[in-house]
Amino acid sequence: MQIRTLLAGSAMLAVLAGCATGPTGQGAADDGMEAAQATYQGTLPCRNCEGIDLDVTLVGDAESAPQDRTFDLQASYRAHPQNPPDENYEGNWEVLSGTADNPEATVYELTPSGEGQVYYFLRLDPQTLELIDPQRRRFQNNEMLRLKRL
């Protein structure tokens, strides 16, 4: 019974993650197959500037080996008084199930290689990700924390 539940859960997770990935990427993988890739963009609010432009590219899908599920996150500050440099993080991502309010929700956990914070994005639909907190709770101003798929 537990194995069937585990297999059913794994299959559901793979289907949900597959919906979040976009058309195949530009480069071919080692086995001749093209890697799935999806890019999301948006502008997050900033206390001391006009906004933070965020680009997130997810490569791979839930069925990919962990080392093949990678991401690239770029953050640029608009009109910040201290003019900080752009931030760029790379690492691996995982699919998590559930949020504080919705146990059926799909959450992407992006863990940078080396230094950097872990990011959590709630998948609202195939075209929209929303930044959420580490306890997988949505922020009050959640509409301002959304990224749209290109």
| pLDDT tens column, 38-86 | 999 999 999 999 999 999 999 999 889 999 999 999 999 999 999 999 9
DSSP secondary structure string, 51-109? EEEEEEEEES-TTS-GGG-EEEEEEEEES-TT-PPPEEEEEEEEEEE--SS-TT-EEEE
Over 70: is that where the pLDDT of 31 sits?
A: no
- Is 3 inside any structural domain? no
Both structure tokens of 85 = 């440099």
- Per cent of the chain over pLDDT 90 is 71
What is the per-residue pLDDT for 63?
86
pLDDT higher than threshold 80 for residue 23? no
Domain around 99: 37-149
**Cα gap 47→97, rounded to integer Å:** 31
Q: How many CB atoms lie within 10 A of CB 27?
A: 9
CATH assignment at residue 122: 2.40.128.640
Cα-to-chain-centroid distance, residue 4: 28
Q: Which two tokens stand for residue 43?
A: 């502008």
Please, which pLDDT band fits residue 12 given cuts at 50, 70 and 90? Answer: very low
8 found inside a domain = no
Q: How far apart are CA 38 and CA 112, in angstroms?
A: 18
25 part of a folded domain? no
Residue 16 lies in a domain: no
Is 79 inside any structural domain? yes
For residues 106 and 120, the answer to whether their CB atoms sit within 8 Å is: no
- pLDDT per residue as tens digits for the range 103-135: 999 999 999 999 889 999 999 999 999 999 999
22 is a domain residue? no
Q: How many separate domains does the chain show?
A: 1
How many separate helices (H) and strands (E) can be counted in the chain? 1, 9
Specify the pLDDT at position 142.
Answer: 94
Question: pTM for the complete prediction?
Answer: 0.75
Q: Is residue 11 part of a domain?
A: no
CA distance 58 to 61: 8
Whether residue 19 is contained in a domain is answered as no
